[in-house]
Amino acid sequence: MNDNMTYKNLLINKVIRSIVNYFKRNIGILSGLIFIMILVSFLSENFLTASNLLNILRQISTNVFLAFGMSFVILICGIDLSVGSVLAFSGVLAAYMIGVWNWPVWLAVLAPIIICTLVGIFNGVIVTFTGIAAFVVTLSTQTIFRGFAMLIANGAPIRIINQAYITIGTSYLGPIAYPIIYTAFAMLVCYLLLNKTRFGRHIYALGGNRTAALFAGISATRVEVFVYALSSFLAGFAGIVLSSRMTAGVPASGEGYELDAIAAVVLGGASFTGGVGTIGGTLIGAIIIGVLNNGLNMLNVAAFWQYVAKGVVILLAVLTDVLRKKRKERSSIIKMK
């Protein structure tokens, strides 16, 4: 009995320490999020209602999936510009399989996700074995799979009337929408993978110092291929959920989503030079993007200004990262002296 109580107390203390450390690491971005929410709540009385906050979480679910995958990619000093097109391809292919081929729902969901994962493996293999910059490779697959989505749908949305498929993205568990539940589960899996496994340590090591990681016996090929595969897998699943919510496979969907995903990751404290970033920070970054979009919509600000706002936010986040690195370098030099 005493041993059980001791174990429970240790577990509770560990959880509390983890939560405290999380808030300490993300105090800056959390302060920014709270400031934005307070500001918008003063300008719009409907912003802080429970229904609107749940609506924000539901709306950002797509971006969160893409951003989680992008976090892994950026951690190894890579980039994946194909996620928006992969998302559209997944949704369109699923809609085509259900509406034209009359495939069962489970197969119409599984097949596009598998194909999207193979796209990620292709990206990773090309980047790893040819040395071509990830920017170029994923930009190419972005164009290719946007074209495939257009070809499958003949340039027009494919309507979905299968109710079993539609419930994937539109049903609720009490007041909580299914996409929010998917997001919470994805965050848990990604967090555990990145922070509680040897593979996660390899990802940080490869992004932090590639040469040292290779000398330590870490397989860069395996890590990079897995990371790009995971990014495309999450994009494929996000495409299924989004097409279910829209009740259509839309070939134009996902345009610019890769920029929102990158913005969320950078806002969350990740560094483009690799080795720095957290899943929790990425989630906060995605929430900030969602709050900005929702708040600007509530204030009837033109959609074009939303692009301007997100661009400014990304620039400020990158500038903060650069200044932080310079400050660390100065501190290191001073210590050495």
For residues 266 and 321, the answer to whether their CB atoms sit within 8 Å is: yes
Domain annotation covers residue 33: no
As for how many domains the chain has, the answer is: 1
Domain annotation covers residue 45: no
Domain annotation covers residue 335: no
Domain annotation covers residue 5: no
Angle at which helices 178-195 and 50-75 cross, to 10°: 30
Is the pTM here over 0.85, yes or no?
yes
pLDDT digits (tens, 9 = 90+) for 261-293: 998 998 888 888 889 899 999 999 999 999 988
Domain annotation covers residue 221: yes
**Alpha helices (runs of H) in the chain, residue ranges in sequence order:** 2-25, 27-43, 50-75, 83-99, 105-130, 134-153, 163-170, 178-195, 198-208, 210-215, 220-246, 257-267, 279-298, 303-336
pLDDT digits (tens, 9 = 90+) for 162-196: 999 999 999 999 999 999 999 999 999 999 999 99
CATH value at residue 116? 1.10.3470
Domain annotation covers residue 167: yes
Domain limits at 226?
60-325
Q: Report pLDDT for 59.
A: 93
Domain annotation covers residue 41: no
User: How many Cβ atoms are within 10 Å of 71's Cβ, its own excluded?
Assistant: 27
Domain annotation covers residue 29: no
Q: Report pLDDT for 32.
A: 79
Query: Both tokens of residue 196?
Result: 């509680």
